[in-house]
Structure 1
Amino acid sequence: MTESVARIRERSDVQADALPLDELLAAGEPVVLRGLARDWKLTQAGRRSVADAMACLRGFDGHRPIQYSYGAPDIAGRVFYTDDFSAINCEVRRGSLDELLDAIAAHLDDPHPPTWYMASAPVDNLLPGFRDVDDLDFAARGIDAPPRAWIGNRTIASAHYDAMNNIACCAVGRRRFTLFPPEQIANLYPGPLEPTPGGQAVSVVDFTSPDFARHPRFRDALAAAQGAVLEPGDAVFIPSLWWHHVEGLDAFNVLVNYWWSSAPAYVPTPMHALYHALWSIRDRPEREKRAWRAIFDYYVFGPAGHAGEHLPEAARDVLGPLDETKTRQLRAMLINRLNR
């Protein structure tokens, strides 16, 4: 991708034990947090050598089975679809962390290595004890954000979005992040909702060599993009629903990320509503769809209390504030009606 993109805003004053989460969320913009994980034991080991980084990981290894992806050299690190979009171009393998590290180590100097990629492994299971020395202090803010580890070689995670907020820490190796605001979804040409390379639809544009004749709107996406290269120890805050394309730039890369939601734990993902809307609304006549859009604007996308404000409080039911009890009732009602 030769087109230049705007740089992500940067900060170098954020400490791992003093995360300005409220400030980050209020701004709603991505921020590179330079040096956030510079003092991690793993980061320091990786700065010395790949061998030291791998030894550090082996020292935390919980010796539990893991799952990772293997791709032939011709996919060039891009975990993606087969040509007909019916499957993923990698095979899933099961083994141990030792086996994965050994496989990566065997191809460190290979200009066209196979792709090895372990994605989103819970750190507490994979590397017990890791958080005793290397962690961000979400717990001090009362937030449960268990970290996940991503280990591989020069892999490419095609542009996708996550429903939760994210702080991604580049612990070993460098990574290039290219981010897009949520409204760029149409210009990124999302692939199928199922199957997906990692749980979310990804852009089908090849960022390495974009085909603008086939994907002309991608130029508009690039005009709105923000990018940065993260060095070991750097992190990036990615607001929920921002698209992000992530490239591992070195022969061995480790990333540790923290997802957390701005909503209470009892609020489900909106993806359920999206699937239901595809089923129940998308193929209706345009006049009806416009009417349903107005209804959704009134009940869902307007101010939370607006739809029930003219009613007595006792009569508002789900139009009033939702708590855990009411959400359980809503869930039971929906399951009952969908099963009819």
Structure 2
Amino acid sequence: MAEGTIWDDLAQTPAVAVADPDALDVRLRAAAAPFVVRGLVADWPLVAAARQSDREARAYLLGLHRDVPFTVATGAPGSDGRMFYDQAMGMNFRTDRAKLSQIFDQMDAEEGEADASPLYLAGVDVHDFFRGLHEANHVPLAGRDCLASIWIGTRTRVAAHNDFPDNLACVAAGRRRFTLFPPEQFCNLYLGPIDNTPGGRAVSLVDFHAPDFERFPRFREALRHAQYVELAAGDALHIPTMWWHHVEALDPFNVLVNYWWRDTPRWMGQPQNALNLALLAIRDLPEVEKRHWRALFDHYVFDNDARVTAHIPLGGRGVLDPLTAESAGRLHAFLLRQLNR
């Protein structure tokens, strides 16, 4: 690793051994912090193809893809692969639709060129865009309703962000470096906008390759709690929900397959939606009103216990009872009506 980088003094993410899918399941259910499983997907045919060459990996994917347009982000030459904002807080990349063969032809044509534009296919649904890829290359995660996605590209850097679901990230081609931070470090990562983002989640504005500690002094505190890992093809990393992660694809061609799942039912909705609505309806109220709403949120949401409903007769508690799919659906419909008034 290069001298004088932020990774010089960081702890490495611990690696564990798992004998079978049951052992992996036990580890995942107990995990409160990230862990690595070296060689977890080393027997995938996609990994075997990638070990032969980048072009073999691309040929393998072309043999299984569906004949539909793919969304590809094209970065600017000289951007060091950083898919990020430009100086006006727009994006420093453009997004197009193209056939996978056309995208791979461009990678072939620009392979080895120092000023080639970075190309990045992010979060492609494995089932919708490929036939047989999942069946031949997947991790058994029984009992979990997983979203399987594939990420394909040249050398790229994705700013630190977090995700609500749990994540098992499996490297199928190339090498990837993850820099990870516990959830509570969000205040030291200097997050950008939550509605204007490169990939749908708020990201750190710190350039990890050249951090500006005068502009972002609290980033030093974030680094005190950070860890990192470099993964080779065949390795996997579990990122628990809400952990922040900065992701770098280090080789000329890189492929990652990941699985997202949540332990709560999907009908519970996304917490980010509640935050967005609170920004709309609460943030700019007078301070005395904000204090009142903070107390109500604590009472009904964060500190809720039996005292909240003990005085209400059974059968009359409405959404204060534990939610079900049916009652959540009614609440969702009610909110839509209110928002559309």
1:234-260 per-position Cα deviation (integer Å, ceiling 9, x unaligned): 111111111110000100000001111
Counterpart of 1:122 in structure 2 is 125
- Cα distance change of structure 1 residues 294 and 23 upon mapping to structure 2, 3 Å threshold: farther
Segments of 4+ moved more than 6 angstroms: none
Give the TM-score normalised by the residue count of structure 2.
0.93
| Alpha-carbon contact 1:168-1:257 (below 8 Å) kept | yes
Deviation at 1:318, TM superposition (A): 1.2
1-side partners of 2:315 and 2:289: how far apart? 32
Counterpart of 1:105 in structure 2 is 108
1-side partners of 2:277 and 2:24: how far apart? 36
> SS where residue 15 of structure 2 aligns?
strand
Counterpart of 1:58 in structure 2 is 62
1-side partners of 2:173 and 2:187: how far apart? 33
Root mean square deviation of aligned Cα: 1.7
> SS where residue 18 of structure 1 aligns?
helix
Deviation at 1:65, TM superposition (A): 1.0
> SS where residue 73 of structure 1 aligns?
coil
Deviation at 1:19, TM superposition (A): 6.0
- Cα distance change of structure 1 residues 214 and 115 upon mapping to structure 2, 3 Å threshold: same
Counterpart of 2:220 in structure 1 is 219
Q: Does 1:35 align with 2:39?
A: yes
Q: Does 1:316 align with 2:317?
A: yes
Give the TM-score normalised by the residue count of structure 1.
0.94
Deviation at 1:281, TM superposition (A): 1.5
| Alpha-carbon contact 1:168-1:237 (below 8 Å) kept | yes
Matches within 5 A, 1:1-340: 1-3=5-7, 4-13=9-18, 15=20, 17-18=21-22, 20-21=24-25, 23-85=27-89, 87-138=90-141, 140-141=142-143, 143-303=144-304, 307-340=308-341
> SS where residue 147 of structure 2 aligns?
coil
Residue identity in the other structure for 2:262: S
How many pairs are equivalent? 336
Deviation at 1:304, TM superposition (A): 5.9
Structure 1, unpaired ranges of 5+: none
Deviation at 1:261, TM superposition (A): 1.4
Deviation at 1:84, TM superposition (A): 1.5
Structure 2, unpaired ranges of 5+: none
1:283-331 per-position Cα deviation (integer Å, ceiling 9, x unaligned): 2233333332222122111256552244332232211110011111111
1-side partners of 2:13 and 2:148: how far apart? 23
Deviation at 1:32, TM superposition (A): 1.1
Structure 1 range deviating more: 172-181 or 293-302: 293-302
- Cα distance change of structure 1 residues 232 and 303 upon mapping to structure 2, 3 Å threshold: farther
2-side partners of 1:14 and 1:259: how far apart? 22
2-side partners of 1:194 and 1:54: how far apart? 34
- Cα distance change of structure 1 residues 146 and 27 upon mapping to structure 2, 3 Å threshold: closer
Deviation at 1:23, TM superposition (A): 4.0
Deviation at 1:125, TM superposition (A): 2.1
- Cα distance change of structure 1 residues 284 and 157 upon mapping to structure 2, 3 Å threshold: same
2-side partners of 1:75 and 1:19: how far apart? 42
2-side partners of 1:266 and 1:183: how far apart? 26
Deviation at 1:59, TM superposition (A): 1.5
> SS where residue 291 of structure 1 aligns?
helix
> SS where residue 163 of structure 1 aligns?
coil
* Identical pairs, percent: 44
1-side partners of 2:60 and 2:307: how far apart? 54
2-side partners of 1:20 and 1:132: how far apart? 19
Structure 1 range deviating more: 283-292 or 269-278: 283-292
Deviation at 1:266, TM superposition (A): 0.9
| Alpha-carbon contact 1:88-1:195 (below 8 Å) kept | no
| Alpha-carbon contact 2:31-2:240 (below 8 Å) kept | no
- Cα distance change of structure 1 residues 11 and 115 upon mapping to structure 2, 3 Å threshold: same
> SS where residue 245 of structure 1 aligns?
strand
Structure 1 range deviating more: 253-262 or 188-197: 188-197
> SS where residue 132 of structure 1 aligns?
helix
- Cα distance change of structure 1 residues 227 and 309 upon mapping to structure 2, 3 Å threshold: farther
| Alpha-carbon contact 1:12-1:35 (below 8 Å) kept | no
